[in-house]
Homo-oligomer: A and B are copies of this chain.
């Protein structure tokens, strides 16, 4: 178990179990947000989806992860970091993390999702 992951659990006051560790290890390595099926495929430990979603809910409540819905009616998860946006391409279905100018936005923004056709697919 990496120290960094251990620190995450401590920081968010979550007890570490095998299941929780398996989920976070996948999210730690991920280059882009992942959904349940994708995380399940990469986990080194089988667990029931109820366990998965209950732990995900706990992570989210503590602020350790962040989730959003794509247009496939699935939730995508990633470890929390600075607020940034996600661009979901309706052609290649890739999800990219992007930065956005939020200077003029009022309120406390927690998630931003843009949908459309990405630069590569548009060309």
Taking CB atoms, residues of chain B closer than 8 Å to A117 are 107-108, 110
The verdict on A101 contacting chain B, using a C-beta distance below 8 Å, is yes
Q: A102-121 CB contact bits vs B (8 Å, 1 = yes)?
A: 01111111111111111101
Bound CA–CA A121/B109 (angstroms): 12
Residues A90 and B73 in contact, CB atoms below 8 Å apart: no
The verdict on A37 contacting chain B, using a C-beta distance below 8 Å, is no
Contact of A115 among B68, B73, B114, B115 (CB under 8 A): B68
> Given A69-B73, A71-B69, are A116 and B107 neighbors across the interface (CB < 8 Å)?
yes
Residues B110 and A115 in contact, CB atoms below 8 Å apart: yes
Closest to A109 in B: B116
Closest to A106 in B: B119
The verdict on A2 contacting chain B, using a C-beta distance below 8 Å, is no
Residues B107 and A122 in contact, CB atoms below 8 Å apart: yes
